[in-house]
């Protein structure tokens, strides 16, 4: 089999609009899937373009020049949903089969400046930024036949790499809750690294985002609880359109994370509290001391934590580390602590130590 020739180039959004207007862009060849993107996904794409962030490569195939229009046809091999989304937003009249599901605007959770506005309502500098946005494009030659194109498309859309639950959530949800959880986790990147709770691979696979979500659900539900895929999934869905307690929850999350970092400093990475098995419980302890685990998410000032309480918490950590803590606590701390019983036991042990001063 002869190697397939691919030309690597750059095209602007305006180029694709021009081709769509002239009829030289084949947006939906037979091997492409139908448009299935949700409005949140589409909103996220437009915000990505406005911010100038890169998006995946577009694959096209050149077709033979049309004898009537003298225009070469360009067939979309991979990138149909991205291109349809952009064309539908910028110039919906160019989509001949435009449907209700093609109609969308940018969500406020993605970009407050653009929220709810049509392309025609955007400031000219934003319109220009969208029109001049450049795609990396790979163009297959006309002699690549349909069987080869289908094989290429299927290979690009298949993988032996199994997505973990958080990676699946990242591909499904684009609303208020997802935006909040990812923003909070990204803000704390320096701490995650310094604390050594997660490896580079863990962070690449969004495990710190999932833990951030667990912390936030604890605050919302006012309870220490076990790790539940269903509960996390439901939160991303339930708060997708509206997350009314977002501001206060984000503020409290930052306060707790900042307080832990301030009170422990570099010692935190050397304590047992930085481990995946225990960090949920230490977050719960500090949250309880600062705000109260059973408190409503209404704007309030955090409590202060005196030095002697911090010293008692550190002592509890030393006992876990050197094996002098109660056997049940040592057993809980040594496991992959994701069930409610063990998390509650660890949290209660550390809380009692902080309040007893011993």
Q: What's the gap between Cα 335 and its chain centre? A: 28
CA distance 63 to 25: 10
Q: CA angle, corner 338, sides to 335 and 343, nearest 5? A: 85
CA distance 239 to 77: 35
* Whole-number percent of the chain with pLDDT over 90: 74
**Backbone phi and psi for residue 139, each to the nearest 5 degrees, phi listed first:** -115, 120
pLDDT in tens, 101-115: 899 999 998 999 999
What is the rounded average pLDDT for all residues in the chain?
91
3 state DSSP class of 9? strand
pLDDT at position 343 over 70: yes
Q: Residue 9: which pLDDT band, with cuts at 50, 70 and 90?
A: very high
Q: Residue 355: which pLDDT band, with cuts at 50, 70 and 90?
A: confident
pLDDT in tens, 50-85: 999 999 999 999 987 767 767 788 999 889 999 999
Structure tokens belonging to residue 231: 């509960």
Question: Is 146 in contact with 31 (CB distance < 8 Å)?
Answer: yes
pLDDT at position 2 over 70: no
Q: Residue 154: which pLDDT band, with cuts at 50, 70 and 90?
A: low
pLDDT in tens, 244-281: 999 999 999 999 999 999 999 999 999 999 998 899 99
3 state DSSP class of 30? coil
pTM value is 0.82
Q: How many helices (H) and strands (E) does the chain have?
A: 16, 5
Radius of gyration (Cα) for the chain, nearest Å?
26
pLDDT at position 3 over 80: no
- What ranges do the domains of the chain cover? 6-156, 165-356
pLDDT in tens, 196-238: 999 998 998 999 999 999 999 999 999 999 999 999 999 999 9
- Concatenated DSSP letters for 44-70? HHHHHHHTT---PPEEEEEEEEPTTT-
Residue 5 confidence (pLDDT): 77
pLDDT at position 35 over 60: no
């Amino acid at each position: 089999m002869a190697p397939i020739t691919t030309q690597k180039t750059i095209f602007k959004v305006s180029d694709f609009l021009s081709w769509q207007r002239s009829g030289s862009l084949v947006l939906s060849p037979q091997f492409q899937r139908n448009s299935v993107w949700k409005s949140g996904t589409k909103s996220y794409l437009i915000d990505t373009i406005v911010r100038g962030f890169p998006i995946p490569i577009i694959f096209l195939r050149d077709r033979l020049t049309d004898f009537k229009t003298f225009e070469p046809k360009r067939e979309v091999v991979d990138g149909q949903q991205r291109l349809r989304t952009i064309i539908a937003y910028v110039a919906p009249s160019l989509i001949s089969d435009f449907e209700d599901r093609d109609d969308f605007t940018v969500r406020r959770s993605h970009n407050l400046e653009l929220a709810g506005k049509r392309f025609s309502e955007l400031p000219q500098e934003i319109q220009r930024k969208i029109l001049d946005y450049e795609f990396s494009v790979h163009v297959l030659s006309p002699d690549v036949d349909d069987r080869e194109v289908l094989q290429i498309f299927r290979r690009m859309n298949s993988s032996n790499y199994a997505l973990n639950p958080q990676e699946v959530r990242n591909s499904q949800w684009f609303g208020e809750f997802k935006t909040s959880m990812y923003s909070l986790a990204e803000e704390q990147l320096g701490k995650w690294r310094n604390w050594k709770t997660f490896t580079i691979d863990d962070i690449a696979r969004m495990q710190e985002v999932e833990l951030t979500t667990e912390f936030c659900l604890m605050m919302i539900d006012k309870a220490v609880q076990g790790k539940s895929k269903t509960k996390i999934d439901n939160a991303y869905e339930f708060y997708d359109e509206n997350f009314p307690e977002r501001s206060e929850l984000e503020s409290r999350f930052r306060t707790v994370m900042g307080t832990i970092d301030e009170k422990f400093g570099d010692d935190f990475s050397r304590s047992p509290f930085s481990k995946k098995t225990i960090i949920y419980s230490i977050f719960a302890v500090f949250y309880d001391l600062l705000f109260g685990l059973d408190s409503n998410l209404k704007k309030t000032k955090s409590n202060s934590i005196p030095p002697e309480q911090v010293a008692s918490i550190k002592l509890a950590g030393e006992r876990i580390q050197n094996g002098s803590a109660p056997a049940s606590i040592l057993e809980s701390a040594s496991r992959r602590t994701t069930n409610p019983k063990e998390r509650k036991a660890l949290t209660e042990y550390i809380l009692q130590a902080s309040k007893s001063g011993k």
